[in-house]
Structure 1
């Protein structure tokens, strides 16, 4: 049983993939305006640094984008330059000139967004390369006859400097379907260029696809049993995409109308909380500890409470723990969207056969990952090295912010994420209890966040209008910055009585729920 859940809120989209009820993949996007990957710009070169073989371009963002020499070489010349010494970037890029570039990596911390001159327009079966005369085929398509067929098909359909990448979904597709999609992607690109031609630099030529579009296009397929959406307008949008991409599978789409929030109903919220923790417990009683640094991610494996049976030898105990940890590490890398260098300190094993078995298990689990991951093997210290392509923010970067109390050594949930959680709790309480009023005690910082206007309307006002309730926010100085208590849900009359007692410094005694993160 495979399910895809789409939860859509204001400035937040979340996609969860469940296999047999267990969360296997998670994608989060906070605010379309913050996402740059995939965007194509007509940009202006503002600085060239020959010593670093790099240039910086104004794309209209807060920071100028960064382009390395490899990304500055014209796409049509890259194949001819393999094995040759790289030219000086000054011979390719000059200050003040216009360049057509695409964002390939989001800005991370102090690092600027990275751009390339190789433009790509993704579709369901193809990625169209307007100026790269090359043909590439997904490594997941392994049959030699099928790879040759696709190559020959592309050779017949492409013209001039065009290129194409065949995605996994292209396997078995007939030439007419491939031609139709190629024609569509050509028209998308030509129309985007024409629309941006007369505009002043820097200008966005073509926006990258948002998370929901990517999820329907890339994650949904015939092996998905259910696609569940919790938001009416998003449901209609997804329905139209399915009718275009997968008309035979459109009946697998449904609109969630349960009382509990979608992610809470399917226990995804609890898994998200676990994916933000440093320590992850394994079913056997062992654990893995995940630490992030500026340069890399370090993962430590421990036997923890797992001692095995009385007859179990130490080597067997260690091997079992390591194999279980390898499966969970691959899953956590996907859920947390961790990229860059990863170092794993598995428990030492003496047997070379067990070491080989562990690496094979890790590689097998990582092969299920859509993001390119490479296992580099064991170091002399017995550490496993791997790299995972980093494109977007990790889950931690998307949902947390540096802790103000410890000076950035740790991380706490951002005010925006705590506000979203409080709003979901209020909506669930109102749905299940048919409340007329809600009284919430919260920190002053969180209260101010709820009163800040977004698109002209404060969150508190929007929630009141949407749910037709009276919402009372009571700032409490003694609460931590990211904490709140739902003091009361029920009738307006009883809420007013509570507030009158509070104003008279009387102590209210009654049921309350507490949520602190």
Structure 2
């Protein structure tokens, strides 16, 4: 059973999903950065790029949205056309055109938000698609073919001319009346949104997805959730009202938290969030993961660490146990950190093909718990696993951290000895070009501690001028500062003033 915790503080809402008392998923929303994903805009095409098969759409945000050809094609285009080339993007959109688009991927870093013309209004059991031409899709997680056919027929009977639908997993077992009730609600919500935005200036927001609290109840609160804790009274009352109307049998699972500790501290969530920002993740066996991010992909390295086995004969068993544990933890970390895109996993090399297959099957089984679409390609002879996971929003690292102003994202700074050598080389250049009696220079504190007095004396003899070298707290660890080159008297004055 799962637990859901919702913490509301000032202008921030955070949600944590616990599985077996461990943090499995984390979501956050602030008033300034409310999620745009799911919002529908009436935008204007500002640029069409045939070479990229894409267009840019002004939706009234900081960056123009990116529309790729696949997201501009009608829903039924793929039927019978897999071997045919896609049309040119100019056949679908043109500059100046007004276009209804929905954000299906948040802006991240330097990348613009991505949008689609295939609109969808999500409900708990069904997604209403106002322009899908009678298309009905059923969640792949519903395995029974008989149930799939029933849901497909039930939903198809509700459609009008241009409408389509996606039947979600929670629709399994529901009768036609329950599905129709939500369907009519979603259709009415869309018609109301269109009517309200009819006279708005373009670009305009037409439909806004609900806030985090409502999305959590809509998408995650189900029979497998034993408790939903909320620590803010108004939000608690709102949640109780929503659950009473939609899922009355779950009302007693919505609870108001009034403990002395904060809700997240009580369940050790704050500590788990901090761990999710670290590069290294320890496994219970003593092994560990290293998670590194690049612009193109995420790379995860598995290491045995302290877990080495008792003898050489046990090496294969030790490695396999570490890899099996790592596979489970990797699936958890991908969900928790909301890592998307291309993912490469470097498992420890295993000799036996059966062991490699066990690890791969474990990873695939754990990824089945993930609501986000993922695909495990396979494992190479070197133990490398290639996989992808849909990226639609910022990862936890992107949401909670910023680029380091010291190392500027490199994660490393120059060695102290290298900073000293760079200062020496620049001073050597000045000695050849300029006549001076003294130099005033400053080093970062840690670098200054590495500079020996004997080195300074040797420099003075070789350079031919006196050196006044001190330290500064605010200097970048990889930089130094030459503050003055000239007369000794002025150098003494500047250096003493700096010391004061």
Q: Quickly name the TM-score band, shorter chain normalised.
A: 0.7 to 0.9
Distance 2:229 2:54 in 1: 45
Secondary structure in 2 aligned to 1:342? strand
**1:161-188 CA distance string (max 9 Å, x none):** 2111111110000001111111111000
Task: Report the secondary structure of 1:280's partner residue.
Answer: strand
* Secondary structure class of the residue paired with 1:313: helix
For the structure 1 residues 41 and 379, does the alpha-carbon distance in structure 2 shift closer, same or farther, using more than 3 Å as the test?
A: same
1:190-231 alpha-carbon deviations (Å, 9 max, x no partner): 110111111110000001232222211111111211110011
* Aligned positions of 1:346-425 closer than 5 A: 346-410=347-411
1:36 aligns with 2:36: yes
CA distance in 1, matches of 2:49, 2:398: 29
In the alignment, does 2:56 pair up with 1:56? yes
Partner of 2:169: 168
Distance 1:120 1:19 in 2: 29
CA contact (8 A) 1:136 1:166 kept: yes
2:301 corresponds to: 300
Partner Cα separation in structure 2 for residue 245 and residue 409 of structure 1: 49
Give the C-alpha shift of residue 354 in structure 1.
Answer: 0.4
CA displacement at 1:33 relative to structure 2: 4.1
| Residue correspondence of structure 1 range 278-357 to structure 2 within 5 A | 278-309=279-310, 313-357=314-358
* 1:143 paired residue number: 144
Deviates more, 1:302-311 or 1:328-337: 302-311
Structure 1 Cα separation of the partners of residues 208 and 11 of structure 2:
17
Measured in 2, the distance between the counterparts of 1:166 and 1:32 equals 33
The 2-side partners of 1:179 and 1:407 are apart by 54
Q: Deviations over 1:342-400 (max 9, x none)?
A: 00000000000001111000100111111111100023543100100000000000000
- Cα deviation digits, residues 135-158 of structure 1 (max 9, x gap): 111111101110111111122221
Between the aligned partners of 1:291 and 1:266, the Cα distance in structure 2 is 28
Please name the residue that 1:469 is paired with: none
Aligned to 2:220: 219
- Which residue in 2 is equivalent to 1:251? 252
Q: CA RMSD in A?
A: 1.9
CA contact (8 A) 1:287 1:301 kept: yes
Q: Which stretch of the first structure deviates more once superposed, 25-34 or 138-147?
A: 25-34
1:20 aligns with 2:20: yes
Question: Quick one: distance in 1 between partners of 2:254 and 2:140?
Answer: 30
8 Å CA contact retained: 2:75, 2:135: no
1:145-294 matched pairs, under 5 angstroms: 145-294=146-295
Paired residues of 1:14 and 1:27 also in contact (CA < 8 A): yes
Give me the whole-angstrom Cα distance separating, in 2, the residues matched to 1:271 and 1:33: 23
The answer to whether the 8 A contact 1:124-1:245 is kept is no
Q: Which moved more, 1:240-249 or 1:191-200?
A: 240-249
Q: CA contact under 8 A between 1:32 and 1:210: conserved in structure 2?
A: no
Question: For 1:312 and 1:158, how far apart are their aligned partners in 2?
Answer: 64
Distance 1:40 1:410 in 2: 38
Q: Give yes or no for contact 2:350–2:356 (8 Å, CA) kept in 1.
A: yes
How far, CA to CA, are the matches of 1:78 and 1:209 in structure 2?
31
Q: Which runs of 5+ in 2 are unaligned?
A: 413-471, 477-500
CA distance in 2 between partners of 1:39 and 1:2 (Å): 29
Q: CA deviation at 1:80?
A: 5.5
- Whole-angstrom distance in 1 between the partners of 2:76 and 2:379: 38
**2:102 counterpart residue number:** 102
**Separation in structure 2 between the aligned mates of residue 379 and residue 142 of structure 1, nearest angstrom:** 30
Q: After superposition, give the CA deviation of every residue in 1:34-63 in whole Å (9 maximum; x if it has no partner).
A: 421101000000001111111001000000
- Pairwise CA distance, 1:159: 1.7
CA distance in 2 between counterparts of 1:171 and 1:147 reads: 8
CA distance in 1, matches of 2:247, 2:333: 30
The offset of 1:307, in angstroms, is: 2.0
Q: Kindly indicate whether the alpha-carbon contact (under 8 Å) linking 1:402 and 1:409 is maintained by their aligned counterparts in 2.
A: no
Q: Distance in 2 between matches of 1:30 and 1:322?
A: 38
Secondary structure, counterpart of 1:349 in structure 2 = coil
Secondary structure in 2 aligned to 1:51?
coil
Cα distance in 2, alignment partners of residues 312 and 233 from structure 1 = 62
The SS at the match of 2:110 is coil
Structure 1 equivalent of residue 462 of structure 2: none
Map of 2:117 onto structure 1: 117
Q: Identify the residue that residue 126 of structure 1 maps to in structure 2.
A: 126
Q: Hey, what's the Cα distance between the residues in 2 that align with 1:96 and 1:169?
A: 41
Task: Give 1:481-496 correspondences, 5 Å limit.
Answer: none
* TM, length-normalised to structure 1: 0.78
In structure 1, the residue matched to 2:442 is none
The offset of 1:255, in angstroms, is 0.9
Output one character per residue of 1:78-115: Cα deviation in whole Å (capped at 9) or x when no partner.
Answer: 53543321111111111001000000001111111000
> Residue in 1 aligned with 2:9?
9
- Match of residue 72 from structure 1: 72
SS of the equivalent of 2:119 reads coil
- The number of aligned residues is 416
Relative distance call for 1:239 and 1:83 in structure 2 (3 A) is farther
Residues in 2 aligned to 1:108 and 1:408: alpha-carbon distance in whole angstroms:
16
Cα distance, 1:76 vs. partner? 4.7
Aligned-partner Cα distance in 2 for 1:164–1:341:
29
